Structure 1
Amino acid sequence: MSATPQAARPSAPAFRGRIGRDARSGHYAVPNRYRLHLTTACADGLRIAVAHSLLGLADVCPVTFLPAVPDRADGGHAVLRPLYDAGAHRYAGAALAPVLSDDWSGRVVSTHAPDITRDLAGRFGGCRTDLYPRGAESEIEAVERMCAEGVEDAAQRAGAPGTGPGERARALETLRTSLNALDRRLDGRTHMLRDQITAADVELWVTLVQLDTVHRHHLDATTVEHLAGRTALWSYARRLTARPAFGRHLDLDAISRRHQARCEGLEAAGAAVQILDWAAHTAADATAVRTADTR
């Protein structure tokens, strides 16, 4: 298993092993062999946690929840360090979450969130929820790209320190255009694709959570007002938040603390305008899931 130091390629996953169909893959699908290490305060961890719940894998692949704010000076989690060290000799990067680990070997299998979600669904998903229905893969990937590039990246560029007026204007235009397109697609629809929850819904819901709880703080009031007017999008977000598989993993306080600990963006007038009252729409059993945060 090879590893890529985070310092050398910060955008690359440190480990990218896959769960295969049989023993020849090295990591083959066996119930209770693998474990997830997640913080739902980060977008990737929240996506995996929601998918894990939708798939009903609590008795197949256990989850260890981590603090919202890592406890090591390098930005990593001390509890994950032995897994990283076992997975790559003299690994120099930070021990970051999310992690899919192999309890048999005590090593990291993967830190690549999209692969982790796809392997959980494809190797252990059964028939409870089909997150990747046959024939929908390209549509799901298109939604993932729009969320990543058109919303997340654009919002980050718009609020990054040192961004010039022209670049900021282009980023804001990309953000508005992307959300307008998503809003039109959801008008009169319950889900993004077909008539069922898919991985596209998990992706978009987490993107909207991040937009309102993190990126909003760095957008001007006019932009936030425009985004709040995408009524189909936010009605959709409310509906999904009320579902236990989504809302029970939403820890607004943890997201806020992680944002405050890591944020280098510019504060803007949009910070005072909350688009959605997430707590009011969270399912009644939201307290069932708690992170291991120590305040």
Structure 2
Amino acid sequence: MSVTPLAAHISAPSTPAFRGRIGGDPRSGHYAVPRRYRLHLSTACPDGLRIAVTHSLLGLDKVCPATFLPAVPDSPQGGHSALRPLYEASAHRYSGPAVGPVLSDDWSGRIVSTHAPDIMRDLARRFGADRLSLYPCGAESEIDAVERMCAQDIEGAAQRAGQSGGEQAERDAALETLLAALGALERWLVGREYMIRDQITAADVELWVTLVQLDTVHRDHLDACAVQRIADHPTLWAYARRLAAHPAFGTHLDLDGIARRHHARCRGLEAAGAAVQILDWAAHAAR
């Protein structure tokens, strides 16, 4: 099955502070040992939410414990003070923010990775391969296409469409990019329960978290007409609702935390779209 309609232009991602990998060979240094590694994440952060959903889908509570961080970082540098010792132990004179998510090694007290896509893949391949195939053989390019589309044509376009200042024409063009992506997804999901296979994969985790962000964060900065056009994709939002009802997805929703994190970071103006909720996420939220 091809997902050519979901292809997006590739942009250079920001470089993570740490990008180690868990390997299958003991000679790799970081090899797969139950209870050796620990996650540090906030489900109010989209990357943290993606990892938390992945972690729950794979049933890794005992294999790789998770420590949950506050929604709003408490450090003056914009990070979490609880993570500062890990960062300082992992990089000499580290001066940047101690941000999550983090995969740490309890044996050494150091950070393995802060790169969410790598963390998700290593959890699935090194610890969850016999549980649920979130990265099925032959599906890597399809999952990559969904990740790019979510990052650029939905998340990035929504940010540009709702930014304060700038040219109206640029915001309008960004909104059209966003709507075109949602339209492609709407057509793609007709007759399908999941994105690329007949079971949940990492593509579903990626898209679902992106839709959560679209409805709980980005609509605050769009006008009511734009939000209504976004909502006018019934198949796509029915898909999001189905996944929200799954325990591994909906129970990690921290709507209050998402709102507090957003308002602590964002200085944009609230638009009329803030009053137009697309889904009742609270019906599935754990908190």
Give the TM bin, normalised by the shorter chain. over 0.9
Q: Is the 1:33–1:102 contact (alpha carbons within 8 Å) kept by the matching residues of 2?
A: yes
Partner of 2:72: 69
Task: Return the match for 1:163 from 162, 166, 172.
Answer: 166
Q: d(CA) in 2 for partners of 1:163 and 1:205?
A: 29
Percent of aligned positions that are identical: 74
* CA root-mean-square deviation: 1.3
Instruction: Kindly indicate whether the alpha-carbon contact (under 8 Å) linking 1:157 and 1:163 is maintained by their aligned counterparts in 2.
Output: no
- Runs of 5+ consecutive residues of structure 1 not aligned to the other structure: 1-8, 288-295
> What is the Cα deviation at residue 11 of structure 1?
2.5
The question of 1:100 aligning with 2:107 is answered no
CA displacement at 1:267 relative to structure 2: 1.6
In the alignment, residue 84 of structure 1 is paired with which amino acid? Y
Q: Deviations over 1:92-128 (max 9, x none)?
A: 1000000000001111110000000000001001322
Per-residue displacement from partner, 1:117-151 (whole Å, max 9, x unpaired)? 00000100132211000011101110111110000
CA contact (8 A) 1:34 1:61 kept: yes
1:262 and 1:183 map into 2 onto residues whose CA distance is: 31
1:152-195 per-residue CA deviation (whole Å, 9 max, x = no partner) reads 00011111222211211111111000011011111121100120
What is residue 281 of structure 2 aligned with on the other side? 278
- Residues 1-295 of structure 1 correspond to what in structure 2 (within 5 A)? 11-280=14-283, 282=284, 286=286
TM-score (structure 2 length as normaliser):
0.94
- In structure 2, C-alpha distance between the alignment counterparts of 1:142 and 1:262, rounded to whole Å: 29
Query: Unpaired runs of 5+ in structure 2?
Result: 1-11
Number of residue pairs aligned between Structure 1 and Structure 2: 276
- Measured in 1, the distance between the counterparts of 2:150 and 2:268 equals 20
Deviation, 1:10, is 9.5
C-alpha displacement of 1:38: 0.5
CA offset digits 1:202-230 (Å, max 9, x no partner): 00000000000000101111110011110
Q: Is contact 1:99–1:108 with CA below 8 Å preserved after alignment?
A: yes
Report SS of the residue matched to 2:39. Answer: strand
Q: Structure 1 counterpart of 2:131, which letter?
A: R
**SS of structure 2 residue aligned to 1:178:** helix
Q: How far does residue 23 in structure 1 lie from its aligned partner after superposition?
A: 1.8
2:200 maps to amino acid: I
Q: Which runs of 4+ in 1 moved over 4 A?
A: none
Once residues 184 and 208 of structure 1 are traced to their aligned partners in structure 2, the CA distance between those partners, rounded to angstroms, is 16
- Structure 1-normalised TM-score? 0.91
